[in-house]
């Protein structure tokens, strides 16, 4: 019984609230540090691309943002499913906290993609398979947020959101494999687990540093938002009353 006890130690909202409070400053500091290093290397150290010139440098923001948009959706759907299947309150709270951050990264990927596409393709937007499926991902994020916020009953809202998130998860592999399945203007994967990188080492370093920075930022803001949701949902709990220096209901 020792391993399950350790595994679920921070499953209680009160314990997670305390843990997240200690970790948030470290994640924010890491995000600033890695973003500064990644942007410096990407915009001032990495060589100019022979084909795209200086315009390619937008990929140091665009590519990590696109990665985060897809991964965070799967993480959101996973936590929403856990909350639905196991009636785990904290899992549903984390899923809700993930949605705005995932939507932000999706918008950032689309926005920076437009800036990259104008000098590369000659157009801000084309109905390319990858761009269209990424836009659908943004709508899925916004739909999840709208759905869970429109239902007053928290439990029903979490269950409805989990169903939408799980159905929408099928769009993520469509985004990833779209450049293989269809003829698209969007270039293929630059970094692959099964092949050597197709870019200079300094470019790869900048890309990885920005990815770490985005991950650290995601942890920081999601943990911050989760703490706010915990306080809202657990406002009548004794530990929250003690935290806010308010007397427990029914006491004098």
Percent of the chain surpassing pLDDT 70: 85
For the whole model, what pTM was predicted?
0.86
As given in the structure block, the two tokens for residue 177 are 């494999």
Q: At residue 5, does pLDDT exceed 70?
A: no
The predicted structure's pLDDT at residue 198 = 60
From CA 169, how far away is CA 175, in angstroms rounded? 10
251 CB burial (10 A radius; 0-12, 13-18, 19+): exposed
The predicted structure's pLDDT at residue 197 = 55
Q: At residue 216, does pLDDT exceed 50?
A: yes
Of the two residues 129 and 107, the one the predictor is more confident about is 107
Residue 13 pLDDT level (bands cut at 50, 70, 90): confident
Q: At residue 80, does pLDDT exceed 80?
A: yes
How far are the Cα atoms of 7, 60, 206 from residue 11, in angstroms, in the given order?
8, 35, 35
Q: In the predicted model, what is the mean pLDDT of the chain?
A: 85
Contact 188, 177 (CB under 8 A): no
Each residue's pLDDT tens digit, 219-245: 999 999 999 999 988 877 788 777 777
Q: What is the 3-state secondary structure (H, E, C) of the chain?
A: CHHHHHHCCCCCHHHHHHHHHHHHHHHHHHHHHHHHHHHHHHHHHCCCECCCEHHHHHHHHHHHHHHHHHHHHHHHHHHHHHHHHHCCHHHHHHHHHHHHHHHHHHHHHHHHHHHHHHHHHCCCCCCCHHHHHHHHHHHHHHHHHHHHHHCCCHHHHHHHHHHHHHHHCCHHHHHHHHHHHCCCCCCCCCCECCECCCCCHHHHHHHHHHHHHHHHHHHHHHHHHHHHHHHHHCCCCHHHHHHCCCCCCCCC
The predicted structure's pLDDT at residue 179 = 67
The predicted structure's pLDDT at residue 47 = 83
Residues 38-60 have a mean pLDDT of 84
Residues 33-60 have a mean pLDDT of 87
Rg of the chain over CA atoms, in angstroms?
A: 21
Each residue's pLDDT tens digit, 165-213: 999 999 999 998 876 766 665 555 555 544 445 667 888 999 999 999 9
């Amino acid at each position: 019984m020792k391993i399950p006890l350790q595994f679920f130690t921070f499953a209680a909202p009160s314990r997670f609230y305390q843990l997240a409070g200690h970790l948030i400053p470290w994640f924010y500091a890491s995000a600033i540090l890695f973003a500064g290093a990644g942007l410096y290397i990407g915009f001032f150290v990495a060589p100019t691309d022979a084909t795209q010139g200086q315009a390619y440098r937008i990929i140091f923001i665009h590519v990590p943002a696109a990665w985060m948009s897809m991964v965070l959706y799967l993480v959101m759907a996973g936590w929403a499913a856990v909350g639905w299947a196991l009636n785990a309150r904290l899992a549903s709270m984390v899923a809700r906290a993930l949605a705005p951050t995932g939507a932000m990264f999706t918008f950032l990927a689309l926005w920076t993609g437009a800036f990259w596409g104008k000098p590369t393709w000659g157009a801000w937007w084309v109905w390319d398979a990858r761009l269209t499926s990424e836009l659908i991902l943004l709508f899925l994020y916004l739909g999840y947020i709208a759905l869970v916020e429109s239902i007053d009953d928290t439990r029903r809202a979490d269950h409805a959101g989990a169903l939408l998130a799980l159905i929408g998860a099928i769009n993520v592999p469509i985004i990833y494999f779209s450049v293989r399945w269809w003829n698209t203007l969007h270039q293929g994967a630059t970094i692959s687990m099964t092949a050597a990188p197709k870019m200079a080492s300094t470019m790869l370093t900048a890309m990885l540093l920005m990815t770490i920075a985005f991950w650290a930022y995601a942890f920081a803001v999601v943990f911050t938002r989760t703490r706010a949701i915990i306080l809202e949902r657990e406002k009548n709990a004794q530990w929250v009353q003690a935290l806010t220096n308010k007397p427990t209901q029914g006491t004098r």
